[in-house]
Homo-oligomer: A and B are copies of this chain.
Amino acid sequence: MALADLKRLERNEDGIATVLGILKQRFGERFLTGQSIREQHAHTMTYIPAQLPDGVAYPKRTEEVQEIVRVCAEHRVPVIAFGTGSSLEGQVNAPGGGISVDVSGMDRVLSVNAEDLDCTIEPGVTREALNTHLRDTGLFFPIDPGANASLGGMAATRASGTNAVRYGTMRENVLSLTAVMADGRAVTTAKRAKKTSAGYDLTRLMIGSEGTLGIITSLTLKLQGIPQAIAGGVCPFPSVEAACNAVITTIQMGIPVARIELVNQLQMKAMIAYSGLDYPESPCLFLEFHGTDAGVAEQSELFSEIASEHGGGPFLWTRETEERAKLWKARHDAYHSAKALRPGTQAVATDVCVPISRLAECIVETERDIAEIGLIAPIVGHVGDGNFHVSPLIDASNPKEIEVLEAFIARLNERAIAMDGTCTGEHGIGQGKMKFLELEIGTGVDVMRAIKRALDPDNIMNPGKIFGF
């Protein structure tokens, strides 16, 4: 969306004033309206301008979220769920004002069922906090979107990240959730059974709904056993195509790779400069394998053969934790090293996802587009899933640069959709991708709107997102 077009919804001033009074009275110190707090709860990532909520509530329990939603429902005031604020497409902005419901204080791990490989948590638990909590159980929660996001937010945006290729996304890793719906009722979507055919899949409906249908107040997550052995390494390729073809072969052979990350030439150059590493300045795949000692060795050797068949290599890999950390250091430094390519600018992370057969073509065309318009925009990708990120470095205070950026993002999204892909593999629609959704899903958007109207007839749950109403 062009900056100038960023929609403001009509503000219900009377309703907002009434709700502010009621919530202040009810929540006292746990309801704040100061400017800086409200700024922290509006969109802070990338270039989409902030649109501040009118107040921020800090509930501690589902029942308190219900109270807040009921008050807002009665007075038709928007309710915007907030976890850690790491969403990237304006999901936490408040285009019609309203109340930000900050669930960061709902951070209890309610139960860990080690035998069932699941746990039930409150939505403010972050993925790192959960894995710290699980440390002594031999289990872990695999989804890793990079940021230390809250798990409620990760579910709401259908997040994934580097090891989705093996473990799936939030879509596959939530067994059940509780959400407070627009009328204030709390709904638990399923029991704890690993499979169910009992009625509509409300769990999956809420995952990815970006707070527009309800506020998630608890989650039952699948856990994984920590693998006996982890191997990892880095493999250079002569071209993005060669790297992508190696990925296709790897996936097709059924090698259960845990992470397979593409870093393009510009990003490698940035990382080499930033981290002082002795890598070739060519596209690389960063890989990780999980399994038994023998299993990860076998997988690594198989990949090594695949790489050389595609002109890549040598594949340097190891099972040693420290050595792995060294090999992967460059990948972990991607964000900061990219910013150093153009100091003082902002990295605008955008993502698309295409069938892997189209991945090389999509990245190559995107690199050409970047070169032609003179952007500095490194690329990293969760390529096992056909998902990649482009991070143009821009001066967000310069309207000219924003214009160029938005035209570039539009072409990128249209390219991905034309290749039978999606305008977002893991960041969600929010405000930033609204105009591409209809192009992608067509009449399906009407079905989404009908569901939204049925479940939130007064449009109080995170209005102005996904469909723009």
Binding site for B on A (CB under 8 A): 113-118, 138, 157-160, 164, 168-169, 171-172, 181, 185-202, 204-205, 207-209, 213, 224-225, 227-228, 248, 251-254, 256, 292, 294-295, 298, 302, 353-357, 385-387, 416-417, 420-429, 433, 436-437, 440-448, 450-451, 453-455, 466-467
Contacts and interface: CB of A to CB of B under 8 A. Distances in A.
Contact of A444 (B172, B188, B423): B188
Given A190-B422, A191-B417, A192-B421, 10 more contacts: A158-B197, A159-B197, A191-B420, A195-B386, A196-B353, A196-B422, A202-B441, A225-B252, A256-B256, A292-B302
Contact of A201 (B164, B171, B187): B171
Given A171-B204, A202-B448, A454-B451, A225 B254 contact: yes
Contacts of A189: 441, 444
Nearest to A426: B197
Contact of A294 (B298, B357, B422, B441): B298
Copies of this chain present in the complex amount to 2
A325 B308 CA distance: 38
A193 B455 contact: no
A175 to B, nearest CB: 9
Nearest to A425: B195
A159 B224 CA distance: 24
B198 A429 contact: yes
A118 B252 CA distance: 11
Sorted nearest first, the 10 A-B pairs with minimum C-beta distance are A454-B454, A204-B204, A115-B357, A225-B254, A196-B422, A193-B353, A192-B420, A116-B355, A158-B197, A193-B421
30 contacts: A115-B357, A117-B251, A138-B252, A169-B195, A171-B201, A185-B446, A186-B443, A187-B442, A187-B443, A187-B447, A189-B444, A190-B441, A192-B420, A193-B353, A193-B416, A194-B356, A194-B385, A194-B387, A195-B387, A197-B428, A198-B429, A198-B437, A199-B445, A201-B207, A202-B447, A225-B252, A292-B302, A447-B455, A451-B454, A453-B454
